Homo-oligomer: A and B are copies of this chain.
Amino acid sequence: MNVTVIGLGLIGGSLLRALATRGHQVTGYDVSEATRQAAASAAGVENPGWRVADDIPAAIVDAEIVVLAVPLPALPEVMPALAGFTGLITDVTSVKGPVRDLLKGRRYVGGHPMAGKESSSFLASDPHLFDGCAWVLCLEPGETDLDDWLRLAALYTSLGARVVPATADEHDEAVARISHVPHLLAAALSNLLEDNPLAGALAAGSFRDGTRVAATRAELIAAMCGGNAAAVRRVLAAVLEDLDAYGRELTAPDPVQALTPLLRRPGELRRAWPAAPGVPEEVDPGNLLAWGRSGGWIVGVEPRLVGLRPVSGRNDS
C-alpha cells in the first residue's frame, strides 16, 4: 500500500518505520524541518526506507491512505491541505469524538494505538512499538465504510497490533476509565505528600504504584483529560460516588464490618483482569461493535476476519 504519515513524533515515526519494514511504500512529513531531516537521514540507513516530503501536497500526491499523527490541537491546521484528497484518512489521537466531528463528511476511520506518548520525538520511534498493542479503530454505524475499516484493520494487524472495534463515544468512555481518570487519582494521591515528609519516608509499594503516572507532565495529563472532558467528568463522578460511600461506611459503629462488603466486588474485578485470551474465532463483519464491547479484538483480516475474545470468570456478553 501507499501510505503517508503526517507528523513524525513517536507514534508517526514508529508507524513510518513499521510500515516500511513490511514493504509498504511510505512517505512522511513533519512541520518541523529538524524532524524531517532526522527522518530523511534515518531512511538512508535502513532498508527498505521511506520518502520524506517538504510539504503536505507533495507528501500525499500518491497516497491511498493518509495517517494524521499530529497532536489534537494541530489537526484543524492540517485539514485545509487535505481538501482535495479523496483517499482514506485515519488518525492516532487519544480522543476520538472531537476528531470524528472535525472530519464529518470525509472518508475517515478514527484510530488510536494504545502505545507510548504522542509528545515524544522521532528519535524515540521504534518499528516494534505496536507489537501486541491494542489499536482502537472506530466504526460509526451508518457512517464508517466497512471496507475502509477492514483495510486499516488488515494493515495494523500486519504490524502486530490487536485491533479493537468501537464507536468514538465508546472509545472515549473506555479511555476515561482506564487512563484519564487514573491520572487524576494519581495526582490527588501525590498531593498527600504536601507538608508531610514523614508520609514520604514511610511510603512504599502501594503509594509508589498508585501515584506513578502523576509524574507525567501536567500539560500532557491536562491535554488528555481536557480533550475528553465530558467522559472524564462522568467517570470521575462515578469514582467520587464510590469514595463517598467508603467514607460514609467509615462513620459506622463498626467501620470494618461496614466497609468489607463494598470492597469485595472491586477485588473480584481486579483479580479477573486482565482476562486470558480465548481461542481465535471467525468474526461476522456485521457484528464488529458487539465483539469489541465484549472485550474482543481482531488479530487478522485476510482471508477472513479473525478475532480473539478474552475468557474471563465472569458472565459478560
Asked whether, in the complex, the Cβ of A266 is within 8 Å of the Cβ of B191, the reply is: yes
Asked whether, in the complex, the Cβ of B256 is within 8 Å of the Cβ of A223, the reply is: yes
A245 (CB) vs chain B CBs: closest residue: B188
**From B187, B198, B251, contact of A242 by CB (8 A):** B187
Interface residues of A in 251-284 (CB under 8 A from B): 251, 254-267, 269-271, 273-275
Give Cα A262–Cα B219 distance, bound, in whole angstroms.
Answer: 10
**From B164, B170, B189, B204, contact of A181 by CB (8 A):** B189
Asked whether, in the complex, the Cβ of B240 is within 8 Å of the Cβ of A192, the reply is: no
**From B198, B232, B266, contact of A164 by CB (8 A):** B198
- A226 interface residue per 8 A CB criterion: yes
Complex contacts, A233 vs chain B, CB 8 Å: 247, 250-251
Complex contacts, A186 vs chain B, CB 8 Å: 206, 210, 266, 270
Interface residues of A in 182-198 (CB under 8 A from B): 182-198
Asked whether, in the complex, the Cβ of A267 is within 8 Å of the Cβ of B187, the reply is: yes
Known: A206-B182, A263-B222. A239 touches B192 (CB 8 A): yes
- Chain A positions within 8 Å of B, measured between CB atoms, are 114, 134, 136, 162, 164, 166, 170, 173-175, 177-179, 181-207, 209-219, 221-223, 225-227, 229, 232-233, 235-240, 242-244, 246-247, 250-251, 254-267, 269-271, 273-275, 292-297, 310, 312, 314, 316
20 further contact pairs, Cβ within 8 A, besides A192-B235, A203-B274, A223-B256: A114-B202, A134-B201, A134-B204, A136-B202, A170-B198, A177-B196, A185-B185, A191-B265, A193-B270, A195-B316, A197-B294, A198-B293, A201-B310, A211-B273, A219-B260, A222-B255, A222-B257, A229-B251, A233-B250, A236-B250
